Amino acid sequence: MMRLLLTSLALVLMTACAERQDATPGPSPAADALQSAEKLVFMAGFKPQANLPFVAVYVAQERGYFREEGLDVEIRHAATGEHLKLLMSGDVDVTTAAASSVLKRRADPGLPVVAFALFGQRGQQAYVALESSGMRTPKDWEGKTFGYRTSVPPDYLAMLSANGVDRSKIREVNAGFDVRVLTEGRVDLLAVFKSNEPDTIRRLGFEVLQWSPEDFGVDNIGLTFITREDMVAGSPDRLARFLRATLRAMEDIQADPDGAVSVVMKYAPEEDRDHQRFMLQAEMADAFGPVTGAHGFGWMTDEQWKVLHEQLVQFDALPEFDYRAAYTHTILRAAREDKPRTNTP
Amino acid sequence: MPQREDRGRGARRLVDVAAPVAAVLAVLAVWEIWVRLSGTPVYVVPAPSDIAARLMDRPGHFARHGAVTLAEAAAGFALGCAASVAAATVMAHSRAAERTLYPLALLVKVTPVIAVAPLFVIWFGFGSFPKVLIAALITFFPVLVSAIAGFRSVNSGALDFMRSVSASTVEIFLKLRLPSALPYLFAAFRITVPLAVIGAVVGEWFTGDRGLGSVIIVAHNNIDMPTLFAAIVVLAAIGVALTALTAYAEGRTLFWHESRQAQRR
């Protein structure tokens, strides 16, 4: 018996060694190219999933677009919001953040972060209630309990202001990140990520009503690629090549969303494919608008940042500061050099 | 002679207090110098002086949230201890009850609090109750195990004597088992008091806008490291104060126990 066990163990070890040998062949042209490629570390701002900027990076990686740009891109994922700190410490070169977060972190504690491409022409957040609640307009929120995450969102306050809603008549609670607080009746109204959580709630068997700030007079913008000021100054070419590869991937995503979802599933095998498809579709719908129609995908105007800055200042989420340092068009311009404008719907 | 003994005892007490204080001050000094010399940004590691400045800047803020966390931790600790001592009393008297209930208690122990905390909010709402329950949950098992061991660690001669005089089960429990278990219970209390504080903080992470847990999570989101560390300092102070209070209560309650008498010697 013992001999049989030892023989089996030896066979397993020999097989493993053989597989290892197969997996490590001699230097190939591709490996040589990778060795000479410039390293760039990208950290997605959350777990692997179909957020549009994540998908653009996944697709560019899988299709070899980064390699063609002479880049060796390492993809990492943040778990608990550590991506900004890692960007600042130099462990990460590019990450993702909402435009509002970029402004907040520039203002306090004064992080030298810079957005260089915009993936969300509308904000990420929406407000939902169960359809059975009977609410129809923001005015109906009065007398209800609103669940927010961590802190009261400025775009919610802007919506109240724009729609004549009396905030004192709404009970506001920090409800955490579990949407079941809505389905179980702990709150009547919940702040959600609109590309993700409305679908999650529907999957639980509940129809939802959804209010997006942009539909109620509150302009907002969403996820951006961000880097550090020293990267923009010192490595603009590396950033431009990174962006050029992801813009190319965006064309693929537009042409074949299902293929893009298949790529996402390689990075997020535990996730539900239909849910990832919903997320990608929702983010694609918000990625284009009048600004991208006029300037191409990824563009952001001074006016968009100004409006966002004013909104955040008005609702005490920010002090007044020079918001124009928070973004740059130089990388996007460089990425598009000698290339026709693409990705406009 | 007695005067010299008093002086010796006073000197020992001084060393007992001065040594840890000196160690803490040395660590803070090294930390401050390292941050200043290395130019580490405040959003990566704040200097102790930054943390102190934040505490001095908003003492009412930290005191208010600290009081919430303290109340939740204390209530959870009391609830967890009461539940575990009650369960241990039953288990110590009945092997069948122990065999039935112990696996359930173990299940409570191995369940990651972080996984169930969001569910507590869905089940029990946004108030203090879910935080108290989480603190109680963390407290439960260590006290249970110690209490069972304590209730069973009775002097067999004393037990035989009480039985020989026809003492009732309640009398044996109150006069023999409970006093025998006290050293075990206090050892468990000293371990679980800081755990109860951690439990309350974990509960506050998930919901609510009161308590040091919520201060920490908001500061983390805002990359406001001085506030985050200031909240940790207040938490540490609460943990140390509760542990000292437990040790004081232990000293007052177990004055008769040989471990205390040995300490005095």
Contact B55, B227 (CB under 8 A): no
CA pair distance A209, A138, nearest whole angstrom: 11
The helix-helix angle for A236-255 and A52-62 (nearest 10°) equals: 100
pLDDT for A30: 56
| Nearest chain B CA: its distance from A149 CA (Å) | 8
Which of B222, B225, B229 to substitute to test the interface with A, most A CBs within 10 Å?
Answer: B222
Question: How confident is residue B41, by pLDDT bands cut at 50, 70 and 90?
Answer: confident
Q: A85, B41: Cβ pair inside 8 Å?
A: no
Report d(CA B97, CA B242) in Å as an integer. 33
Query: Above 70 in pLDDT, residue B14?
Result: yes
Residue B17 vs residues A26, A121, B10, B11, B242: alpha-carbon distances, Å = 65, 61, 11, 10, 17
Three-point CA angle A93, A96, A101, nearest 5°: 115
Query: What 3-state class would DSSP assign to A212?
Result: coil
Name which of A19-33, A83-97, A298-312, B226-240 the model is least confident about: A19-33
Task: Give domain limits for chain B.
Answer: 1-39, 46-264
pLDDT at A250: 97
Minimal-distance CA residue of chain B relative to A102: B222
State whether residue A181 is helix, strand or coil: helix
Q: From CA A305, how far away is CA A182, in angstroms rounded? A: 32
pLDDT at B228: 95
- Using a CB-CB cut-off of 8 Å, the residues of chain B touching A89 are 44
Interface test with A, best of B54, B116, B209 (most A CBs within 10 A): B209
Give the number of beta-carbon pairs within 8 Å between A and B: 59
Name chain B contacts of A317, Cβ cutoff 8 Å: none
Distance from CA of A185 to the nearest CA of B (A): 9
**H or E element in which residue B197 lies:** helix B178-206
For residue range A151-175, list pLDDT tens digits in order: 899 999 999 999 999 999 999 999 9
Q: Note whether A109 contacts B44, CB cutoff 8 Å.
A: no
Residue B11 neighbours by CB distance under 10 Å: 10
| Virtual torsion, Cα A257, A261, A264, A265, nearest 10 deg | -170
When comparing pLDDT for B260 and A307, which is higher?
Answer: A307
Tell me: the pLDDT tens digits for A55-66?
Answer: 999 999 999 999
pLDDT at A20: 45
Query: Nearest chain A Cα to B44, which residue?
Result: A85
Predicted local confidence at residue B200, as pLDDT: 96
When the pLDDT of each residue in chain A is averaged and rounded to a whole number, the result is: 89
**Do the Cβ atoms of A98 and A80 come closer than 8 Å?**
no
Q: How far is A187 from chain B (nearest CA, A)?
A: 9
Other beta carbons within 10 Å of A307: 15
- A128 contacts A187 by C-beta, under 8 angstroms: no
Please check whether residue A342 touches B, CB under 8 A: no
**Does an H or E element contain B96, and which?**
helix B95-110
CB atoms within 10 A of CB B137: 25
Q: Does A319 touch chain B (CB under 8 A)?
A: no
Are the C-beta atoms of A150 and B217 separated by less than 8 Å? yes
Question: B74 in helix, strand or coil?
Answer: helix
Query: Is the complex ipTM higher than 0.95?
Result: no
All structural domains of chain A, each given as residue ranges with its CATH number in brackets, are 36-122+221-335 (3.40.190.10), 125-216 (3.40.190.10)
Inter-chain touch A173–B126, beta carbons under 8 Å? yes
Pairing state between β A94-98 and A223-228: antiparallel
A146: three-class secondary structure by DSSP: strand
Hey, are the CB atoms on B126 and A175 less than 8 Å from each other?
yes
Q: How many helices (H) and strands (E) does chain A have?
A: 16, 10
* pLDDT tens string A308-334: 999 999 988 888 899 999 999 999 999
Please enumerate in sequence order all residues whose Cβ is within 8 A of that of B246, keeping only pairs 6 or more positions apart, or say none: B186, B189, B190, B193
Query: For residue A116, is pLDDT > 60?
Result: yes
A180/B contact by beta carbon, under 8 A = yes
With an 8 Å Cβ cutoff, is A122 touching chain B? no
Do B207 and A111 lie within an 8 Å CB cutoff?
A: no
CB of A81 less than 8 A from some CB of B:
yes
B49-94: per-residue pLDDT in tens? 999 999 999 999 999 999 999 999 999 999 999 999 999 999 998 9
- With pLDDT > 70 as the criterion, what percentage of chain A qualifies? 88
The pTM for the full model equals 0.79
Indicate the Cα dihedral angle A294, A300, A303, A305, nearest 10°.
170
Task: State which residue of chain B sits closest to A171, comparing Cα positions.
Answer: B126
Q: What is the 3-state secondary structure (H, E, C) of B199-235?
A: HHHHHHHHCCCCCHHHHHHHHHHCCCHHHHHHHHHHH
Is the Cβ pair A186, B126 closer than 8 Å? yes
Residue pair B91/B150 in contact (Cβ under 8 Å)? The answer is: no
Chain-chain contact of A88 with B44 (C-beta, under 8 angstroms): yes
Could you tell me which chain A residue has the CA closest to the CA of B203?
A: A176
Average pLDDT value for residue range B156-163: 91
- For the domain made up of B46-264, give the CATH fold: MetI-like fold (1.10.3720)
Minimal Cα distance from B122: which residue of A? A181
Q: Output the six-digit token pair for A72.
A: 């060796």
Cβ(A67)–Cβ(A192) below 8 Å: no
Alpha helices in A193-327 (DSSP H): 197-203, 229-234, 236-255, 257-267, 273-287, 290-295, 302-314
* Residue A17 pLDDT > 80: no
Residues of B with CB under 8 A from a CB of A: 41-44, 118-119, 121-122, 125-126, 206-209, 214, 217-218, 220-225
